Structure 1
Amino acid sequence: MPTVEQSVIVSRPVPEVFQYLSTAENWPNWDNSIVESRQITDGPIGVGTRWQGASRILGKRIDWTAEFTEYDAPKRSSAKSVKSPVAFTLTTTCEEVEKGTRVTYRLDSESGLGGVFGRMADPLVTKAFGRSQQASLENLADLLDNEAAQ
């Protein structure tokens, strides 16, 4: 099971960072791989909340629907794909650190991220996606840090 795990420090309080990350419409603003995303269930965010979107990995568009399986605001959330060519679980944690919030993003893929490209591509796709996610987390930190400065 390929795993991508990356972290970044954001100079904002945990509740503020978690709230931003929990809003699906914000994801394309900071995540380089997400083309679009939106919440598709009504009501407040929690276990069972679903959203759908599309990601672009190495130029290939992947449409998906996912559902929160864990939602412990403002510390941790996990979601699992319910419709996607690549089965995945995404876990995001926010923990208070001296300079703000450490955000850790972890993606576990049951079938391998290269599944849509072919199994031989798994190591390449996983490595490229890891680099992309680290850049996305750095975008998140810059975005939230700049909002705070305004």
Structure 2
Amino acid sequence: MNVITSDTTITRPPDQVFEYLADASRLPEWQPSVEEASAEPAGVFEVGVKGSERRRTPGGVQTIHWEVTECEPGALWAVQGTDGPVRAHTAIALTAVDGGTRVDYRIWFEGRGIGKVIAKLATRGARTEVPESLALLKQHLEVAGG
């Protein structure tokens, strides 16, 4: 398993960072390849919530379904893909630090069948996109005010 990790510090309290990043409808604001996203039920942050997103990938726009696997408001948010040949696993840990929140982001891809090859491509793309996404997250929460 090839895990991509990245981190940033945001000058906002953990609960505010969590509410923003766990809100599926806001994904397009800080993840450049996401065109739209939603969760059912909207605004609920707990294990078992299901969501979907339309994401631009090298193979074209794909609809990806996911489920929340871990949730500790203000501290941890984790989701995993639920269908398709490649399933992303994402875990975001939040830690209060002097003046804000440290965000530790981890993502890895599980490939099934032909998805094993695609997972390698997804990993390569994530190496660039994850730091860009965290920079946008920081920008939206600090400059734009979330």
- Please state if 1:64 is matched with 2:61: no
Distance 1:10 1:25 in 2: 20
Runs of 4+ in 1 over 4 A off after TM superposition: none
Q: Percent identity?
A: 26
Alpha-carbon contact 2:86-2:119 (below 8 Å) kept: no
Match of 1:131 among 107, 128, 140: 128
Alpha-carbon contact 2:109-2:119 (below 8 Å) kept: no
Q: Which letter maps to 1:126?
A: T
Distance 2:70 2:58 in 1: 29
Which residue number in structure 1 is paired with residue 34 of structure 2? 34
Normalised TM-score (structure 2): 0.86
Normalised TM-score (structure 1): 0.84
Distance change >3 Å, CA 11–CA 40, structure 1 → 2:
same
Which residue number in structure 2 is paired with residue 44 of structure 1? 44
Distance change >3 Å, CA 57–CA 3, structure 1 → 2:
farther
Which residue number in structure 2 is paired with residue 73 of structure 1? 73
Alpha-carbon contact 1:62-1:84 (below 8 Å) kept: no
Q: Which runs of 5+ in 1 are unaligned?
A: none
C-alpha distance after superposition, 1:64-121 (max 9, x if no partner): 1111111111100211211233112111111111231111221121118x93xx7288
Distance 1:120 1:51 in 2: 22
Q: Which runs of 5+ in 2 are unaligned?
A: none
